[in-house]
Structure 1
Amino acid sequence: MANSEFGYVRNFEQPDALPPSNWIVVRIDGRGFTKLCKKYDFEKPNDRRALDLMNAAAVEVVRSFVDVVLAYGQSDEYSFIFHEATAIFERRAAKLASSIATAFTAEYCMQWSEFFPDQPLARPYPTFDGRCVCYPKRKILRDYLSWRQADCHINNIYNTTFWNMVLKGGMSNTEAEHALKGTVSADKNEILFSKFGINYNNEPMIYRKGTAVYRSYGAGPAINGVSGQVKTADAASKTQLEKEKKRKQKASIVVEHVDLIGDAFWDSHPYILASKRGEDCGE
């Protein structure tokens, strides 16, 4: 950047680099999606097309950012987890949040017609905002994902019960809200089964568990190196980093609706939260 008498304005920019050795979560959320759902008449309690569109956009974001080790989504939100050693954008929070949010927004709008062919997008277009949160330990990161998945369950069982009471039970929105006030999951399960013949445990996993997106390396040991990693005494060489980046780019991207609260998924995919090549995700 050329020097000039106006260059002093750079001093007003505040540094926002996130601390090293922390897992970075960039969570994006839809802006004004309650209005958007009404505008395009999304199905209640869940519109599979809308969720599939969210997942398709997430896949392309994961494909574009190789340091994302896992993404988790539900409803109109998605969390993208960057490896603790990433140095992308010099770990600047504003760059990370804005890059993920804009990439996701672009994919969501560009792929809209594939999932809603009879409902063209019109202004105001869907947009997503983003925020960055750092987690210093894998256990805390897993607790974060458990929190979001528990939120998915709580919201979905409420919405499933509420909309069945309204659409099938003939209740008004206000009446359904009043009837569900103070109920717990067991109560909602009983309402669904006794009044509507619905076993909640048989509802599609995508609604109950949300969606996980991650890379699968097939046979052989998975490489979990990080592109652009800050140099340390035992850091991989530039050539090794480039090889690892290419392998990530060639890896299959998996979309699954699985439980992230228990250990089974993590035991089956230890490389996802591994700190270094060949290391498992134990504490």
Structure 2
Amino acid sequence: MVFFLFLKNIQYFSQFRIFTISKMAKSKFEYVRGFETEDYLLPNCWIVVRIDGKDFHKFSKKHNFEKPNDRRALSLMNRAAVSVMEEYKDVLLGYGQSDEYSFVIRKDSTIYNRRRSKITTYISSLFSSSYVYYWKDYFNDIKLKYPPSFDSRCILYPTNENLRDYLSWRQADCHINNLYNTTFWALVLKGGLTNAEAEKRLCGTLSSDKNEILFSEFDTNYNNEALIYRKGTILLKKRIKHPTTGKNRLVIYPLHEDLIQDVFWRTNSEILEIKSCGFYEVSQDIELPDLVLTQLHSFKSSELSDKSEKIS
């Protein structure tokens, strides 16, 4: 009888404690949650998150970026973008140039219930932290003097044509800016002009004028400049054959191609059709990009780890 009463008392006090905690949790301050709003994105639309560096003109000058292009800086941007695409499987394509990157999220994605603020903040924060994390891998002789920051925006495109036009716009922008910068820095670094004089010289010039300046004054054919500078970088998820194990591996592969023309979209039809990524045939005469080798190395390490666990 005494034991029964003891159990009853325990049950009573447990219920009282749960009731008290529940009541305390719903404090008089909880009403402020009513000010929060959810910004859901329309369904069945392509989602593009574009990240752009904040005041990167100052940042590049402070860290002595090479002019007109610094391959290390572009490679670091690509590495940070790979981190985003590895984390978020619904990102089908990334396109980067200079200090910006665009990420295309499949139109049927339910990532974070399509909440705009969640998507933009998570992707931009991961990109920014990855940029800092991998800095030493590309600028091992230059100390990061202050943390960079990137803004982000989220845009919806309802049709495939809209999406293609967006990416075409960004690649055309890459060409226009790079042609200008290549000519500008040739006038400054090789021609001996000041920044103001070079800017005045190029004011009102057309693309043909800039090409002529490069060719006639600096013996430079702009069409021979590296594709990564002229076309930017396209990141796609592709299956390739591992060069040592022979196994098919899913990697994020960098391409430097014209994505404005139809041939790119025919070759990579899985993007707009939202199908499984295709197999990418890499010629034996071409060395795999460092960005891919890094991913394959992580595969090899994980495989060795798995084998050692099985043996033990």
In structure 1, the partner of 2:264 is 265
- Say what the alpha-carbon RMSD is for the aligned residues: 1.6
Bigger helix fraction: 2
How far off its partner does 1:42 sit? 0.5
In structure 1, the partner of 2:175 is 153
Is 1:115 matched up with 2:138? yes
Residue ranges of structure 2 left out of the alignment (5+ in a row): 1-21, 242-248, 278-312
Matches within 5 A, 1:93-108: 93-108=116-131
What is the alpha-carbon distance in structure 1 between the residues aligned to residue 43 and residue 131 of structure 2? 31
Amino acid aligned to 1:101: S
User: How many residues are paired up?
Assistant: 247
2:51–2:153 CA contact under 8 A, matched in 1: yes
Percent identity, please.
55
User: Please, which of 198, 204, 208 is the counterpart of residue 182 of structure 1?
Assistant: 204
1:153–1:209 CA contact under 8 A, matched in 2: yes
What is the alpha-carbon distance in structure 2 between the residues aligned to residue 17 and residue 79 of structure 1? 20
What is the alpha-carbon distance in structure 2 between the residues aligned to residue 142 and residue 173 of structure 1? 36
SS in 2 for 1:118: coil
Is 1:24 matched up with 2:47? yes
Is 1:133 matched up with 2:152? no
Amino acid aligned to 1:127: S
SS in 2 for 1:81: strand
Amino acid aligned to 2:126: A
How far off its partner does 1:75 sit? 0.3
Amino acid aligned to 2:254: V
In structure 1, the partner of 2:230 is 208
In structure 1, the partner of 2:252 is 253
What is the alpha-carbon distance in structure 1 between the residues aligned to residue 137 and residue 255 of structure 2? 20
SS in 1 for 2:27: coil
How far off its partner does 1:217 sit? 3.1
| Structure 1 runs of 4+ with >6 Å offset | none
Residue by residue, what CA displacement relative to the aligned partner does 1:180-217 show, whole Å, maximum 9, x if unpaired?
11111111001000000000000000000000001013
How far off its partner does 1:122 sit? 2.5
User: Please, which of 19, 37, 42 is the counterpart of residue 60 of structure 2?
Assistant: 37
What is the alpha-carbon distance in structure 1 between the residues aligned to residue 138 and residue 239 of structure 2? 29
How far off its partner does 1:5 sit? 2.3
Residues 47 and 100 of structure 1: CA distance in aligned 2, closer, same or farther (over 3 Å): same
- With a CA cutoff of 8 Å and minimum separation of 6, indicate the structure with the bigger relative contact order: 1
Is 1:6 matched up with 2:5? no
Residue by residue, what CA displacement relative to the aligned partner does 1:144-201 show, whole Å, maximum 9, x if unpaired?
0000000000000000000000110011111111111111111100100000000000
What is the alpha-carbon distance in structure 2 between the residues aligned to residue 8 and residue 146 of structure 1? 47
In structure 1, the partner of 2:193 is 171
TM-score of the superposition, structure 2-length normalised?
0.77
Residues 11 and 276 of structure 1: CA distance in aligned 2, closer, same or farther (over 3 Å): farther
2:63–2:145 CA contact under 8 A, matched in 1: no
What is the alpha-carbon distance in structure 1 between the residues aligned to residue 240 and residue 26 of structure 2? 51
TM-score of the superposition, structure 1-length normalised?
0.84
How far off its partner does 1:275 sit? 4.3
In structure 2, the partner of 1:274 is 273
SS in 1 for 2:107: coil
How far off its partner does 1:4 sit? 2.9
How far off its partner does 1:130 sit? 0.8
Is 1:192 matched up with 2:191? no
What is the alpha-carbon distance in structure 2 between the residues aligned to residue 34 and residue 187 of structure 1? 25
Residue ranges of structure 1 left out of the alignment (5+ in a row): 220-249, 279-283
Amino acid aligned to 1:159: N
Residues 277 and 77 of structure 1: CA distance in aligned 2, closer, same or farther (over 3 Å): closer
What is the alpha-carbon distance in structure 2 between the residues aligned to residue 271 and residue 277 of structure 1? 6
